[in-house]
Amino acid sequence: MGRRALPDSVHKPLLATLRGERQDRPPVWLMRQAGRYLPEYRALRAEKGGFLALATDPEAAAEVTLQPIRRFGFDGAILFSDILMVPWAMGQELSFGAGEGPRLSPTLLTRKLAELSPDVARLAPIYATVRRAAASLPAATTLLGFAGSPWTVATYMVAGQGSKDQAETRAFAYADPVAFAAIVDAIADLTVEYLAGQIASGAEAAQLFDSWAGSLSPEQFERWVIEPNARIVAALRARCPGVPIIGFPKGAGDKLRAYAEGTGVDALGLDETLDPVLADAMLPPGLPVQGNLDPLALLTGGEALTRGIARVLAAFPERPHIFNLGHGIGQHTPIAHVEALLRQVRG
Ligand code: 1CP
């Protein structure tokens, strides 16, 4: 039976927590939980011939979304896709070569935004993936959609690939703030459409990944992180009332409270560099948080893992808390360590 046929009263611990209800045991999911550390993912990726083929095949992508749920019973399933689908729909070519990171071309260092030919139909298979995943998830599991935040997505559009400290993009933003604002605004506009489309297809909450928020000066953080995310949150809230939005400004550090208050996100992802006890003291009471175990503690296992989990679990005595990592799970993480994490978190 599809879960849409089930009564509304089915309790979803993750969704309830995002709405501000603390649970006795924190619900748990892991960023990048669908991916290369799973043998069943590697097998399907090899069969499909690559990341993009997999992510644009709704049947296969829905299967990858469900794989970690079947294996571990996480409280949340995250759509299997990538933040770079938005630049692809904006008209850049996208490839994921084996053994190297994703590539976008032409870069916005060599070509202007207006010279690209957008093709939003490229997003259609992703909505189909969300519909399929929504139809076959267990009733208590929350389906999360996601997108990259404009700053992080812009770093890839400008440089054409991942970069160590996003220097080209930060320099671009200083040198030509008008052109850079046009790029950020265009990404933000499409992101609103894209997330509204995921929600209309069955996503019950959405996460905005700002993976490179930590490289910005305070003024740039205000202009390129807080402002566009605030706009996205306001537009989505108007279109999709009651759908929680998780903001994840990785590396925000002392700017975290300003991010929470300035963007109006419903919940906040905490990276592994934050002291969870200090984060709890710094943030507005009642604001749900998610995080923040170091992915390397999970990779290492043993004492490092046990202690790391205990520390996160103890840090939020009153606040609604979702157990997660501080960043994505590493591809060499042993499955047994994920099982140990779940045993300890679930008690
Ligand atoms: O098979 C492969 O080649 C895949 C590696 C992979 C995977 C599994 C990439 C390439 N993307 C993904 C899926 C993905 N990406 C998800 C799926 C759902 C899940 O969490 O299970 C999500 C949420 C993302 C988000 C994403 N993509 C981010 C934000 C989160 C983060 O980790 O910081 C970023 C920065 C990307 C870009 C990207 N895509 C892939 C890689 C290797 C990268 C990083 C590239 C770089 O900076 O060099």
Residue 341 maps to which CATH number?
3.20.20.210
Q: Which atom of ligand 1 is nearest to the CA of 79?
A: 18
Q: Is residue 130 domain-resident? A: yes
- CA 197 to each of CA 266, 289, 293: distance values in angstroms, whole numbers, following the listed order: 19, 25, 31
82: CA distance to ligand 1 center in Å? 6
160 Cβ partners below 8 Å, 6+ apart?
A: 103, 104, 105, 106, 107, 109
pLDDT digits (tens, 9 = 90+) for 9-25: 799 999 999 999 999 99
- In which band, very low, low, confident or very high, does the pLDDT at 97 lie, cut at 50, 70 and 90? confident
pLDDT digits (tens, 9 = 90+) for 19-52: 999 999 999 999 999 999 999 999 999 999 999 9
d(CA 90, CA 118): 4
**Is residue 260 predicted with pLDDT exceeding 60?**
yes
263 phi and psi angles, rounded to 5 deg: -90, -30
pLDDT, mean of residues 281-298:
97
Q: Is residue 341 domain-resident? A: yes
**Is residue 1 predicted with pLDDT exceeding 60?**
no
Q: Are 79 and 198 in contact (CB under 8 A)?
A: yes
Helices (H), the chain: 13-18, 39-48, 51-55, 58-72, 85-89, 124-136, 150-159, 167-175, 177-200, 218-220, 227-239, 256-263, 276-282, 295-300, 302-314, 335-346
pLDDT digits (tens, 9 = 90+) for 292-320: 999 999 999 999 999 999 999 999 999 99
Residues identified as active-site: 32, 36, 45, 82, 156
**Is residue 114 predicted with pLDDT exceeding 50?**
yes
Give residue 8's pLDDT: 59
6: CA distance to ligand 1 center in Å? 32
Question: In this predicted model, which residue has the larger pLDDT, 4 or 209?
Answer: 209
Give residue 266's pLDDT: 98
Joined together, the tokens standing for residue 138 give: 């267990």
What's the chain's average pLDDT? 96
**Into how many domains does the chain fold?**
1
Quick check: helix, strand or coil at residue 290? Answer: strand
d(CA 80, CA 99): 19
Please classify residue 51 by burial: count the beta carbons closer than 10 Å to its beta carbon, then call 0-12 exposed, 13-18 middle and 19+ buried: buried
Residue 131 CB coordination number (10 Å): 16
247: CA distance to ligand 1 center in Å? 17
How large a percentage of the chain has pLDDT more than 90? 95
Q: Is residue 5 domain-resident? A: no
> pTM for the full model?
0.96
155: left (phi over 0), alpha (psi -120 to 50) or beta: alpha
Residue whose structure tokens are 């300890």? 344
pLDDT, mean of residues 231-260:
98
Strand partners, 339: none
- In which band, very low, low, confident or very high, does the pLDDT at 5 lie, cut at 50, 70 and 90? very low
Per-residue burial over 293-308, b if 16 or more Cβ lie within 10 Å, else e, is bbbbbbbebeeebeeb
Q: Is residue 286 domain-resident? A: yes
Please classify residue 133 by burial: count the beta carbons closer than 10 Å to its beta carbon, then call 0-12 exposed, 13-18 middle and 19+ buried: buried
Q: Is residue 259 domain-resident? A: yes
**Is residue 99 predicted with pLDDT exceeding 90?**
no
Give residue 3's pLDDT: 45
Q: Is residue 102 domain-resident? A: yes
pLDDT digits (tens, 9 = 90+) for 183-216: 999 999 999 999 999 999 999 999 999 999 999 9
Joined together, the tokens standing for residue 101 give: 């990171």
**Is residue 2 predicted with pLDDT exceeding 60?**
no
Ligand 1 pocket check: which of 51, 82, 144, 329 to mutate, most ligand atoms within 8 Å of Cβ? 82
Give residue 6's pLDDT: 52
Give residue 243's pLDDT: 98
- CA 147 to each of CA 19, 128, 223: distance values in angstroms, whole numbers, following the listed order: 20, 16, 19
33 lines ligand 1 (CB under 6 A): yes
Distance spanning both ends of the chain, measured CA to CA = 30
Give residue 230's pLDDT: 98
Tell me which residue range forms the domain holding 191. 13-346
Q: Which atom of ligand 1 is nearest to the CA of 250?
A: 33
